[in-house]
Amino acid sequence: MHGVHPDPLGRTRPFTELTADERERLAPEIEELRVDREYVFFQEGEASDQVFVAQAGRVRIQHFRPDGSVRTVCMVGPGETFCCLPTLDGGPYPATAVAAEPSVVFRIPGPTYRHLLEVNAAFASTALRQFCGRLREAGCEGCAQADDVGSRLAGKILTLVDKFGDLVPVTRKELAELAGTTIETAIRITRDFERQGWLELSRGRFRVTDRAALARRALGPETPVQLSRPNRAT
């Protein structure tokens, strides 16, 4: 469905950098996708020239390993542009995008997106900052694998809080995939976080109640301070 709203991206970066007239001209080129859970927007390795912008719901960005297992590398929330890399470099999609719940996503032709980058410096600057932020996060992924699982889970939870707020609509299976661990380990550690008063767990979501404690845990396991005994006089 095209042009369903006169200004569908008026509150979405980097499209906020466009004037109202520019967004009005863009609106007819936007295709709105209203999809059910598990809808596949595109698959890893496919060639395409489109940009996607999430408006409602959640989208999992996934890699499928040779053994058939799945790794969720990113969770996309409302207002986020995802997988614009093929539009920028002409290569295939680097991952698979699947709706984690009923979602609304806008699809924009690649040539239209590139034209905006070329003619609007503010749009290009904001878009590239967002893209670099994703690259920075991905670049830290390998380093994070060396951390203990609790630190990785705490860090992923904080990233999700930045996207969705204190009530995070993510399952522990999805959280386990994001942190590169098993669902059993994710359940055990998040229950421990709940016992310590950092989270409130419920089916398919959790609420963060102590960001500061999670931020400390993301830095590494807390080690008790060892007090040295004073030397006895002989």
Residue 85 lies inside a defined structural domain of this protein: yes
**Final residue of a domain: which of 139, 168, 193?**
139
**The model's pTM:** 0.73
**Final residue of a domain: which of 122, 139, 156?**
139
Contact call for residues 122 and 15 (beta carbons, < 8 A): no
Shared domain check, 100 and 74: yes
In 77-177, the DSSP E strands lie at 81-82, 96-99, 103-109, 167-168
Residue 224 has pLDDT above 70, yes or no: no
Question: Which pLDDT score, from 0 to 100, does residue 72 have?
Answer: 84
Torsion sign, CA atoms 208, 203, 217, 178: negative
Q: What share of the chain is helix, strand, coil (3-state, %, to 5)?
A: 40, 20, 35
**Mean of the per-residue pLDDT values for the chain?**
83
Rounded Cα distance between 80 and 97, Å, is 13
In the chain, the DSSP E strands lie at 31-35, 40-42, 50-56, 59-64, 70-76, 81-82, 96-99, 103-109, 167-168, 199-202, 205-208
Residue 6 lies inside a defined structural domain of this protein: no
Residue 8 lies inside a defined structural domain of this protein: no
SS3 state of residue 116: helix
Radius of gyration of the chain (CA): 21
Q: Return the percentage of the chain with pLDDT > 90, whole number.
A: 40
* Boundaries of domain holding 29: 15-139
pLDDT interval class at 15 (50, 70, 90): very high
Q: Give 42-70 pLDDT, tens digit per residue.
A: 988 888 788 999 999 999 998 877 777 77
Shared domain check, 106 and 63: yes
Shared domain check, 187 and 87: no
Residue 45 lies inside a defined structural domain of this protein: yes
**Final residue of a domain: which of 139, 157, 189?**
139
Lowest mean pLDDT among 36-40, 92-96, 151-155, 193-197: 92-96
DSSP code, position 110: H
Question: Which pLDDT score, from 0 to 100, does residue 134 have?
Answer: 66
Question: Which pLDDT score, from 0 to 100, does residue 225 have?
Answer: 40
Residue type, 131: F
Contact call for residues 8 and 28 (beta carbons, < 8 A): no
Shared domain check, 186 and 75: no
Q: Give 175-211 pLDDT, tens digit per residue.
A: 988 888 888 999 999 999 999 999 999 988 899 999 9
Shared domain check, 111 and 178: no
Contact call for residues 197 and 209 (beta carbons, < 8 A): yes
Shared domain check, 156 and 124: no
Residue 121 lies inside a defined structural domain of this protein: yes
- Tell me the CATH number at 107: 2.60.120.10
Shared domain check, 134 and 54: yes
Query: Is residue 14 reached through a cis peptide bond, with omega within 30 degrees of 0 on the bond before it?
Result: yes
Shared domain check, 99 and 213: no
Helix and strand counts by DSSP (H, E) for the chain: 9, 11
pLDDT interval class at 74 (50, 70, 90): confident
Residue 123 lies inside a defined structural domain of this protein: yes
- Tell me the CATH number at 194: 1.10.10.10
Residue burial 23-45, b: 16+ Cβ < 10 Å; e: rest = beebbeebbeeebeeebebbeee
Nearest to 216 by CA among 160, 155, 167, 142: 155
Shared domain check, 206 and 114: no
